Amino acid sequence: MRLLGNILWLILGGLFLALGWAVIGIVLCITIIGIPLGLQAFKMAQLTLTPFGKQVDYAGGFGSLLLNIIWIVVAGLWMAIGYVLAGLANCITIIGIPFGIQSFKMAKLALMPFGAVIR
């Protein structure tokens, strides 16, 4: 089921989203200040590429909490809202519910990426 879900995800737009995140990560890594943000964009690209069968766990400390607070204020809140809205739109149909669940998983990572580990 994971393989089928990931294939459908890639065909229906996941590949373009993952490439977008990768490009954002490359652009952010051009400057020294942007490297931590670029690494989080690569983390989003990894989860966006194949979200089925993966989970997001948090193992960060105080530093991750501080960076997540800054991230939420700068961009994370709007990104998470976008993923939640996409998840709600997917959950309208029975067929879209698994894709909606994956969007909610990405919303969690988009809100607080620092200290997150994708398994």
Q: Of the candidates 31, 55, 29, which has an alpha carbon nearest to the alpha carbon of residue 109?
A: 55
How much is the pLDDT for 74? 86
Digit-coded pLDDT (tens) for 59-104: 878 889 999 998 899 888 999 999 999 999 999 999 999 999 999 9
Residue 117: enclosing H or E segment and its boundaries? strand 116-118
> What is the Cα 53 distance to its own chain's centre?
14
Q: Of the candidates 25, 19, 22, which has an alpha carbon nearest to the alpha carbon of residue 38?
A: 25
Q: Is the predicted pLDDT of residue 115 greater than 90, yes or no?
A: yes
What is the domain count for the chain?
1
Mean pLDDT, residues 10-36: 92
How much is the pLDDT for 40? 92
How much is the pLDDT for 1? 81
Mean pLDDT of the chain: 92
Eight-state DSSP code of residue 50: S
Q: Are 111 and 80 in contact (CB under 8 A)?
A: yes
Q: Which domain holds residue 10?
A: 2-118
